[in-house]
Structure 1
Amino acid sequence: MNLNTQFWGEVFSTGVKNIWLFAKAEVKVIGIVILLLFLGFWGIGYEPGYAIVFAIGISLLDLIPVVGAGIAFIPWVIIEWIFGDPSQGWLLLFLYIGVEIIEQLIEPFFLGKDLELPFWLPAVIMILCAVIFNVLGIVVASVLIPFIAAYRQVRNKYRRKGQLNNYYD
């Protein structure tokens, strides 16, 4: 087997393994989101039982590309403003915005750490894929990021062994 075939075979097998690492990083992010939402709902004044149910439910909705947690929070905030307690609506809105900002900041960190990528690269790839492919871009990025990481990992391995020519740089 020549070096070219061996190199790309390793990139593919490492990429498949990295998809699992990508999923593991996403589970970590979801766990943090659940914790933040739970603490936020509890701090707003919901009973702990309701707070954990709301946190888990909204975190699962957060897995839906593009709309995410907003599918629950936005109507809830509007209903609170119109028919309920406006101050409660504002607290829910601040909780939603705060958790979304934190999630967008920590997600590239975990992806970069687990996949051995610079922290900014997953964010750039996700944004580019979303711009190019719209909603489907999130799915494309979820596959592309692990394979870009695999390419970099295998390239570095071969470079350390001195087997890599400039073709792969």
Structure 2
Amino acid sequence: VEVWAGLALLRVKGSGWWALGIAAADLLPAVGTGLILIPWAVLAFVQGNRFLGIGLLVVYGIITVVRSIIEPKIVGDNIGLPPLVTITSMFFGLKLLGAIGLFLAPLLVLIVKFLNDSGKIHLWDNSPPAVPPK
């Protein structure tokens, strides 16, 4: 959606199809939006279209910021994990298992959290901190 919105604002013909293709490439391990948007921006600059070149770099920058900062917070809030735990598990999952690990690792962490919270396993203390008497 981010790529589509950016390309639509830049008035790229077929922005929906471009966004779909870029999103498909983004699912592949070691291939991301930058692999398509950065060369496309360079090509636009070479062809003299500075507006499109700058616009594509801005779209790439926004996507990178959203991925790095906002996405883990949203995912963490939705699945009940702190953002740092979510981003860490996503990172290690991606490095260990590729694209599938990006989704699988937070799910495994969530399962472990649920098992610990329900008392099935005991990895960390879940009781609230003691309140000192007044």
Q: Give the corresponding residue for 1:122.
A: 86
Task: Tell me: CA distance 1:134–1:103, structure 2 relative to 1, closer, same or farther (3 Å).
Answer: closer
| Pick aligned residue for 1:53 from 17, 21, 24 | 17
Aligned to 2:8: 42
Give the AA of the match of 2:10: I
- Seen in structure 2, the aligned counterparts of structure 1 residues 143 and 42 have a Cα distance that, compared at 3 Å, is closer
Equivalent positions of 1:130-141 (< 5 A) are: 134=95, 136=97, 139-141=100-102
Partner of 2:115: 154
Out of 108, 123, 126, the residue aligned to residue 168 of structure 1 is 123
Amino acid at match of 2:6: G
Distance 1:81 1:75 in 2: 10
Cα distance in 2 for partners of 1:87, 1:62 equals 24
How far the C-alpha of 1:117 sits from its partner, in A, is 0.7
Q: Percent identity?
A: 22
CA contact (8 A) 1:38 1:54 kept: yes
TM-score (norm: length of structure 1):
0.61
Root mean square deviation of aligned Cα: 2.6
Bigger helix share: 1
The Cα of 1:153 is off from its aligned counterpart by 0.9
Q: CA deviation at 1:72?
A: 1.0
Residues 137-146 or 68-77, more deviating: 137-146
Gaps of 5+ in 1: 1-33
> In the alignment, is the contact (CA less than 8 A) between 1:112 and 1:119 conserved in 2?
yes
Q: Distance in 2 between matches of 1:135 and 1:89?
A: 34
Matching of residues 105-116 of structure 1 within 5 Å: 105-116=69-80
Residues 24-81 of structure 1, C-alpha deviations (whole Å, 9 max, x = no match): xxxxxxxxxx2x222211211224xx11111111111111233311121121111111
Q: Of residues 145, 151, 155 in structure 1, which corresponds to 2:106?
A: 145
Aligned length: 124
- Helix, strand or coil: the match of 1:66? coil
The residue matched to 1:62 in structure 2 has which SS?
helix
- Secondary structure of the structure 1 residue equivalent to 2:27: coil
2:123 counterpart letter in structure 1: Y
